[in-house]
Structure 1
């Protein structure tokens, strides 16, 4: 890298989103912890009552945080989805999809080599069509709460 060429990481981020869980999923998960803890306590009468809850609660919280860890970012001339990276020069087109469009894109006619980051609790998505002769992946489908903003950011970054 020469002094005149800036590093790709110094470019401003034009889009950033984290695919977190919806707020109501946390109380539901904790309710499941309570139910499972009671069931385990009933099955093992000699087990102290606090042990199942002490094991299940942090495990459940860790899984919930892990499920909501995916970050989408358009920055530095590339699209980053979790640890996957796509230079914007290989993007042919971007289509913002509503919930029905996402369902169709992931349905029976979906390409088996497509790259998919799909979260069922997020309805909309974007479909990123690729133009890379060295890559067999025809497109990416990425869940997003703001499909039009992501599509716009990708098309602007491509210019």
Structure 2
């Protein structure tokens, strides 16, 4: 049994600059602990860097997948049969849908470091969510995977 005709998986990893910032946070902790000696300084460097890296890693660990007839985006799992048209949003349009065009009922998977997005209409009348806004580096591929999975589900595959 094939799970999806156009499998898609993306991890919205944090940018490299966040890892540099994690190290700089460790340096800040080390400088704060400098008056207490070398051992606390090293502990601050290691502990501060590790804590900041864990935060950056967990924020960047969210995944978007199309598998088994469902779109899984972060904690949301929506059957592709409940989804309508997908609209690729370029940076300016994505910014507009994140701000003044946004509907408070929509599901937003935002990552500010990813400028493009995909807006997917939710067609299920039982679901009050009007659309899904998904930050993604490859909105065209994601839209194609959703379309292919929806067509496969309609054919009963």
On whether the aligned pair clears a TM of 0.5, the verdict is yes
Aligned Cα root-mean-square deviation (Å): 1.6
| Aligned with residue 21 of structure 1, among 7, 14, 35 | 14
The corresponding residue for 2:3 is 11
Larger proportion of helix? 2
Where in structure 2 are there 5+ consecutive unaligned residues? 152-157
Matched, 1:158 2:143: no
Where in structure 1 are there 5+ consecutive unaligned residues? 1-5
Residue aligned with 1:122, SS: coil
2:26 and 2:50 in contact (8 A); partners too: no
2:74 and 2:109 in contact (8 A); partners too: no
Residue aligned with 2:36, SS: coil
Quote how far apart the aligned CAs of 1:29 are.
Answer: 2.1
Matched, 1:115 2:107: yes
| Aligned with residue 46 of structure 1, among 13, 32, 36 | 36
Residue aligned with 1:141, SS: strand
Quote how far apart the aligned CAs of 1:35 are.
Answer: 2.5
TM-score, normalisation: structure 1 = 0.86
Residue aligned with 2:112, SS: coil
Q: What is the aligned length?
A: 148
Give CA-to-partner distance per residue, 1:98-157, whole Å, 9 cap, x none: 111111111212111110001011010000101111111100100000011101111111
Matched, 1:88 2:84: no
